[in-house]
Amino acid sequence: MRLIHMCFGTSMNPNKDRIGPFIEAEWTYGELPFWLHDVPGIVFRSDNGPFKYHMGKWVTKVVNMMKSEKLYASQGGPIILSQIENEYGRIEDAFEDNSGSRYVHWAAGFAVGLKTGVPWIMCSQKDAPDPLINTCNGFRCGQLFGGPNSPDKPSMWTENWTGFLQRYGDEAFVRSAEETAFSVAEFIAKKQGSYVNYYMYHGGTNFGRTAAARIITSYYDQAPLDEYGFTRQPLWGHLKELHAVVKLCTQPLLFGSYEYSYLGQDQVAHVFRGESGECAAFLANNDNTTSAKVHFQNSSFNLPPMSISILPDCKNVAFNTAKVCTQQNTRSMYQHDSDAKAGLYAVSKAHVLHLFVNGAYIGYAYGGRRYFKLEETVHLNNGTNEIALLSVMLGFPVLK
């Protein structure tokens, strides 16, 4: 969902409200409206009165909209987190006189004051002021994330990059299913990660002039669900299997104690033990060229290079990040059998609607008031079919 008809941008997944106001997303101006440029004395994303005024107005508007629909978890809704700003830590030092730091503290205090009843986060912001939670964005947060900046905060990965933005003239970046799964398992085990959000899980299209400078209109087409909604295999299937196995480890991951031990020079075990005997283990081989045979709890396990084996019962391997069982390098597409029959349905606000399929005239429907329906059973060929609709209007409507 993007509320682009308002003054700032907001992007949302099913359980996180990323209000911004600057959200990046490789959108032009990072989804800040262009008219802000003409506000006298404004300095974007800084301890600047005009910017803070418009930012506060926007964030308050969005939060009140969410509250009115009872969307926050505190109201029984699906939103469990809200994000203020985006990756600000990467530019904070560019502002002189400590303006960047003052802006961070102002934004944090302003957000908390809106009383949504759910936690607020700042991604890529190591010094996120309490009670805001600092989170990680990147490819390998299991290695690069320094952890929460206070012991009462969880480890959260707000952007696990499944691919990367593509600029005009560049080749598409393809991240392997094996490496992506390894990074997720590593973050959960090594950092005791409690939240992993993929960026992007579903690709899309930046229509018109919404894409940022030098960014192509196709956006994250290499994601598990591509630009058109088709599954990208093997990434989609491999991650589905990974998360199904992680779910089997829920009890010890959430409520168990954590142990860490070496199994070899580049091999380690991350073990979670529950009070009632539950046990889950993540056996990691960090050597990216050589397989390793390790011993764990009186059993031997073969670990492929750069892989993690997940044992939901600390005995049996249910998943290995380097072993891909789903089909390779495909998009899923459903095709009808040759000469298949399909139902075609269209709604029109015109007066007459004619239907053509593969150059053949099929039929028509008509109406005269608000709208009417055209419903036909048509024959489709295996592969590409051309469907054409000819809409007819008889004069302009009367304005009252």
Catalytic residues: 87, 159
SS (H, E, C) 254-277: HHCEEEEEECCCCEEEEEEECCCC
Q: Please say whether the beta carbons of 1 and 25 come within 8 A.
A: no
- Antiparallel, parallel or unpaired: β 156-161 and 195-199: parallel
- Antiparallel, parallel or unpaired: β 299-303 and 204-205: unpaired
SS3 116: coil
Q: Check whether the bond before 200 is cis (ω within 30° of 0).
A: yes
Residue 143 and residue 193: Cα distance in Å, rounded?
Answer: 12
Return the number of other C-beta atoms located less than 10 Å from residue 64's C-beta: 11
CB proximity list for 215: less than 8 A, separation 6 or greater? 26, 165, 166, 167, 168, 206
Q: What are the residues facing 2 on neighbouring strands?
A: 11
Positive or negative, the CA dihedral 35, 40, 44, 47 is negative
Q: Please say whether the beta carbons of 238 and 182 come within 8 A.
A: no
Return the number of other C-beta atoms located less than 10 Å from residue 293's C-beta: 12
Residue 103 and residue 88: Cα distance in Å, rounded?
Answer: 10
Residue 321 and residue 229: Cα distance in Å, rounded?
Answer: 24
Residue 236 and residue 325: Cα distance in Å, rounded?
Answer: 11
Q: Both tokens of residue 205?
A: 């299209």
Cα angle value 231/234/238 (rounded, 5°): 100
Crossing angle of helices 99-113/49-68, nearest 10°? 20
Q: What are the residues facing 83 on neighbouring strands?
A: 18, 121
